[in-house]
Amino acid sequence: PSGSGKSTLVHCLAGLDTPDRNPETRIAVGGQNIAGLSDDQLTRFRRDHVGFVFQAFNLVPTLTARQNIELPLSLAGKKVDAARLDALATTLQITKRLDHRPDEMSGGQQQRVAIARALLSQPDVVIADEPTGALDSATSQEVLALLRRCVDELGQTVVVVTHDATVAEAADRVVRVRDGQIVADDARGGVR
């Protein structure tokens, strides 16, 4: 439910927030304890290892969809894989919107641009806050299938925050949070 602490938990996993400054606190992502990293180290860690899909999309309004998708790689000084970008755009059905700014796109199209931005660099971890919230049911299923391929084919970890039971059913593991506490942790078919 809203206010349960899901977003706080995910922000801690991503290094966007810290639970406390206790030296015993450990947040391991990819075998690395990020709890003790400096702000600069956390910034580099997020840039190099984490892809984000924010509930509010967080697209830069003055940039086109293509530029928004390429932005994290540009900021990191990395080359954009044009073929991968095109494949993501095709899968997410945004090819015809790549030259449009966010105010020229629907909420669902903006959401798909945000998903492409998170996936383009093939990060170790993809953190998605309600990634299907602005999408119709058919597009939601396509996005879930794409996230599943990220896990199965690329070995990425995908963490999804959702209120949608259908989205949760697609997961290998479901962690339920209520009032800031983990109340259930169910692995399905073995956690990878």
User: Using H for helix, E for strand and C for coil, what is the string for 58-76?
Assistant: CCCCCCCHHHHHHHHHHHC
Q: Please list the ranges in the chain whose pLDDT falls under 50.
A: 190-192
Residue 147 DSSP SS3:
helix
98 inside domain: yes
Task: Write down the pLDDT at residue 192.
Answer: 45
Chain centroid to CA 52: how far? 3
Place of tokens 């639970």: 19
92 inside domain: yes
User: How many domains, the chain?
Assistant: 1
Using an 8 Å Cβ cutoff, are 15 and 38 in contact?
A: no
Q: Alpha-carbon distance 111 to 57, whole Å? A: 6
Task: Write down the pLDDT at residue 68.
Answer: 98
Tens-place pLDDT, residues 100-142: 999 999 999 999 999 999 999 999 999 998 888 888 888 888 8
Q: Where residue 107 sits, what CATH number does that domain have?
A: 3.40.50.300
The residue type at 77: G
191 inside domain: no
156 inside domain: yes
Residue 145: domain span? 47-177
131 inside domain: yes
Long-range contacts of 12-18 (CB under 8 A, 24+ apart): 13/125, 13/127, 13/159, 14/46, 14/50, 14/52, 14/125, 14/127, 15/42, 15/45, 15/46, 15/50, 16/46
40 inside domain: no
36 inside domain: no
